[in-house]
């Protein structure tokens, strides 16, 4: 049992060091994540506006073609007016002319609306693009900072990870699972020594009888108030000295 407790505490000490390295990164990983999300959102907004603008350009081009075609038809009809032979032909032609003129007007009005939309979208895109550039710049800075920190601790972290794997392999599976579960629930600290009669995780006093049992290290005990695995100060000192 003593060994089971020792390897767990050994694992805890390594994880403490890894946690410290992680802490050096501060909120940079979160900031990078957050920025990436905001950049993607902004990109999507800009892309959809660009698409809307392109569609408007395309639609206006088609309208222009239609207007040109109708204008040439109109010219033809008007020329034909001089050659009509009866009222029926005249009525049919004027109907065509009226219809073409109406259509041209409709397309021209639509083009004015499209122009306005294009102008509005252009302003919006022009406003959003520097915002996106700014976010990208910010992301680049944060990523570089993070990379620098990671790089400066890379070797130490790699060594610790190798050491951690070695120690973790000597921990019994159920102990390891319990350790990881408590570690996750208790901000990283799963195994703590009793210091001055109290659990050094939550500072609650451990009953004297329980302290004796823990000192005997014949069983694994969890702190009654925080659930962390408790070890004696002796075991903690031995592991640290090793
Ligand atoms: Zn506790």
Which pLDDT does position 214 carry in this prediction? Answer: 95
Residue 222 alpha carbon to ligand 1 centre in Å: 8
Q: Distance, CA 23 to ligand 1 centroid (Å)? A: 23
pLDDT at res. 2: 86
Q: What is the distance in A from the centroid of ligand 1 to the CA of 182? A: 11
The enclosing domain of 111 has a CATH number of 1.10.287
Q: 148 and 203: one domain?
A: no
Residue 9 lies in a domain: no
Structural domains in the chain (count)? 2
Residue 204 lies in a domain: yes
Span from the CA of 231 to the centroid of ligand 1 (angstroms): 11
Residues 140 and 43 in one domain: yes
Domain around 64: 25-152
- Tell me if 157 is assigned to some domain: no
Distance CA 242, CA 7 (A): 11
What is the 207 CA–ligand 1 centroid distance (Å)? Answer: 12
Q: What is the residue-level pLDDT of the chain in tens, covering all 242 positions?
A: 889 999 999 999 999 999 999 898 889 999 999 999 999 999 999 999 999 999 999 999 999 999 999 999 999 999 998 898 999 999 999 999 999 999 999 999 999 999 999 999 999 999 999 999 999 999 999 999 999 999 999 999 999 999 999 999 999 999 999 999 999 999 999 999 999 999 999 999 999 999 999 999 899 999 999 999 999 999 999 999 98
Same domain, 146 and 176: no
Q: Computed from CA positions of residues 120, 125, 130, 134, in that sequence, does the dihedral angle turn out positive or negative?
A: positive
- Shared domain for 56 and 135, answered yes or no, is yes
Is residue 42, in this structure, part of any structural domain at all? yes
Q: What's the gap in Å between 200 CA and the centre of ligand 1?
A: 7
User: What's residue 54's pLDDT?
Assistant: 97
Pair 67, 133 in one domain: yes
Which among 128, 134, 132, 137 has a CA at the least distance from the CA of 52? 128
The DSSP output letter for 186 is: T
Residues 124, 178: one domain? no
Same domain for 136 and 178: no
CA contacts within 13 A on the Cβ side of 158: 6
Cα distance between residue 203 and residue 192, in whole Å: 10
Tell me the angle at which helices 173-185 and 2-24 cross, rounded to the nearest 10 degrees. 40
Same domain, 123 and 43: yes
H runs (alpha helix) in the chain: 2-24, 28-81, 87-170, 173-185, 208-216, 233-241
Cα-to-centroid distance, 157 and ligand 1 (Å): 29
Q: Which chain residues have CB less than 5 Å from ligand 1, an ion? A: 199, 201-202, 223, 226
User: What is residue 106's three-state secondary structure?
Assistant: helix
Q: How confident is the model at residue 79, as a pLDDT?
A: 93
11 domain-assigned = no
Are residues 134 and 186 located together in one domain of the fold?
no
Distance (angstroms) between ligand 1 centre and the Cα of 204 equals 6
CA of 229 to the centre of ligand 1 (A): 8
On whether both 145 and 34 belong to a single domain, the answer is yes
pTM above 0.85, yes or no: no
Task: Report how far ligand 1's centroid is from the alpha carbon of 205 (Å).
Answer: 8
Residue 4 falls inside a structural domain: no
189 CA → ligand 1 middle, Å: 10
Task: For residue 39, tell me if it sits in a domain.
Answer: yes
For 125-164, the pLDDT digits (tens) are 999 999 999 999 999 999 999 999 999 999 999 999 999 9
Assess whether 98 and 138 both reside in one domain.
Answer: yes
Question: 193: CA distance to ligand 1 center in Å?
Answer: 10
Question: What is the distance between the terminal CA atoms of the chain, rounded to a whole angstrom?
Answer: 18
Domain-located, residue 17: no
Domain termination site, one of 152, 184, 199: 152
- Indicate if 37 and 141 belong to the same structural domain: yes
């Amino acid at each position: 049992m003593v060994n089971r407790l020792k390897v767990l505490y050994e694992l805890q000490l390594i994880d403490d060091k890894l946690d410290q390295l992680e802490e050096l990164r501060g909120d940079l990983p979160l900031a990078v994540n957050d920025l990436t999300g905001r950049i993607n959102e902004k990109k999507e907004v800009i892309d959809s506006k660009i698409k809307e603008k392109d569609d408007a350009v395309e639609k206006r081009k088609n309208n222009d073609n239609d207007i040109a075609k109708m204008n040439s038809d109109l010219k033809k009809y008007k020329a034909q007016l001089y050659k009509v032979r009866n009222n029926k032909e005249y009525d049919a032609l004027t109907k065509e002319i009226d219809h073409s003129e109406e259509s041209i007007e409709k397309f021209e009005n639509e083009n004015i609306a499209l122009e306005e939309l294009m102008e509005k979208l252009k302003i919006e895109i022009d406003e959003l693009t520097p915002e996106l550039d700014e976010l990208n710049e910010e992301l680049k800075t944060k990523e570089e900072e993070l990379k620098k920190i990671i790089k400066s601790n890379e070797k130490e972290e790699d060594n610790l990870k190798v050491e951690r794997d070695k120690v973790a392999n000597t921990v019994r599976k159920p102990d390891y699972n319990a350790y990881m579960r408590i570690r996750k629930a208790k901000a990283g600290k799963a195994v703590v020594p009793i210091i001055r009669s109290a659990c050094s995780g939550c500072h609650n006093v451990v009953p004297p009888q329980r302290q004796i049992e823990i000192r005997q290290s014949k069983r694994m005990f969890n702190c009654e108030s925080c659930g962390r695995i408790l070890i004696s100060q002796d075991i903690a000192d031995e592991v640290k000295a090793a």
